[in-house]
Each structure stands twice: as structure tokens, then as C-alpha cells.
Structure 1
């Protein structure tokens, strides 16, 4: 059962749909754009031109106009919201909750088991004399 569950988690992690983002910085201004992931190397698209092509009026002031010189412009590519990350966090939480429940139930279970064994040692006495 555990092997099947782990195989399911591994298969889901392999098929994770990763969302890639490009963060465009110009001085203290910044904005984040989602990068299409159909390209094998989506971070190669995170350039100043990509930011300029995707900027809308007022989203990131200073990127689309002359107030941001090219030496003050930076980009950063990162991934977020992948199913793999969610599976890891959810697995950790399930395992932690399971261990806490086991720690709470175990003393009561051992007491019940000890009483059951003690009762099983007694034999019924027949009332026929």
C-alpha cells in the first residue's frame, strides 16, 4: 500500500505543471509576468524586450519609458505554484498529523491491549459440583 502511494506521488511530481515567471526590475519599480512554458528553456525569454512587450500602462512605471536606463534594468526568472511543491508540503503535513495521532492514541491502545491480555488469562469456572 505504501509503495503504491509513493508511486502515485512520484508520478504526480513528474507530471507537475510548473508556472514560470519573469520579474522585471527598474530601480525600485517591479512587476511580474508569466512566461509561456512551451519553450524548453523558458527563462531564456525573460529579457528586457519581453518586459517591454508585456508591460501595460501603469503596471510598472519606469520600464516602458526613458526614465529607466538600460544599466538600471534587471530581470529575474523563477518558478512558483508547481504541483510537486504542493505534494511535498501536503505529504509532510499528512505524515506529521499521522505521527501526532499515533503518539496520542498509542498509550490508550497499549492499556487496552494489556487489559485484554489480562482478561484472556482467566478461565471460566464451571458451576457444576
Structure 2
């Protein structure tokens, strides 16, 4: 059986494609956002980590956790929160659910790092590639003997 040999440029393209696939795989596997509930009552602010959905921790787990960020949840975790403001019944209490380390944030960071290191690698390889191109041009357009 004859063994085919890949050219140098084909090997470089395959390595770059493999690197890009591994980078995209890392962004999808590493993302597991954490949800927080921010309780605001007057000048007081209280941030509580919401429990994760254990059944589906990656796909939609954080959006279900935001459903538990309510006024009663804030008053249960910190009962002394709205004592000094108004009636103390929690009418002035506002809640906000937010995520840290979301998929979008991680994707943007990994994309930035990939583009930066790709450009640095290209700048480092440019003199080498330029020399290869010139040698190739000299071989293909050699002068005919007279």
C-alpha cells in the first residue's frame, strides 16, 4: 500500500484547523456560569450566590436559578435588610439576577487570545515564509540556458 505524504503547507493548515477546533471546544466545555441575586434596599446591597440546577448544570441551569431571586428569598437570607427603611415590609426592596463568567464573556476572551497569538505567530513566521516563497519563485522561473 502506497503511503501518501502531505506537503508542509498542508500540515500547517491541518495544525491550525486542529488548534481552532480545540480552542472552540475549550470555550464550550469550560463555561458554567454562576448566578447571583442582588438585593437592594435603600443604600444597602446584599449579594447572594444562587444554587445551581443540578439536573441540567450547563444547559439552562442558571436561567432556572434566576427564578428564585425574589423579594422573599432576599428577606429569608438576610432578615435585617430593610429594617431601617420605610415600613420594613420589603416594599422598597428590589432584586436583580446576574451571571458571572457567561458563555459570551468567555468566548470573547478566548477569541481575543486566539487572534492575538495567531497574529504574533504569523509575525514570527513571516520572514521564514517569505524566504520559502522567494526560493519557490526562483525554482519555478529559472532562466533557460542559451
Instruction: Tell me whether the two structures share a fold, i.e. TM-score over 0.5.
Output: yes
1:16 equivalenced with 2:21 (yes/no): no
1:4–1:114 Cα change, 3 Å: closer
Distance in 2, matches of 1:118 and 1:5, equals 30
In 1, the alpha carbon distance for the partners of 2:95 and 2:137 equals 71
CA distance in 2, matches of 1:96, 1:18: 25
Q: 1:3 to 1:113 in 2, by over 3 A?
A: closer
Q: Which has the larger radius of gyration?
A: 1
Count the aligned residue pairs: 116
For 1:54, the equivalent position in structure 2 comes to: 77
DSSP-derived class of the 2:32 partner: coil
**Alignment partner, residue 65 of structure 2:** 42
TM-score, normalisation: structure 2: 0.58
CA shift for structure 1 position 44: 1.3
What SS is found at the alignment partner of 1:72? coil
User: Where do residues 56-75 of structure 1 align in structure 2 (5 Å cutoff)?
Assistant: 63-67=81-85, 69=88, 70-75=90-95
Counterpart in the other structure of 1:126: none
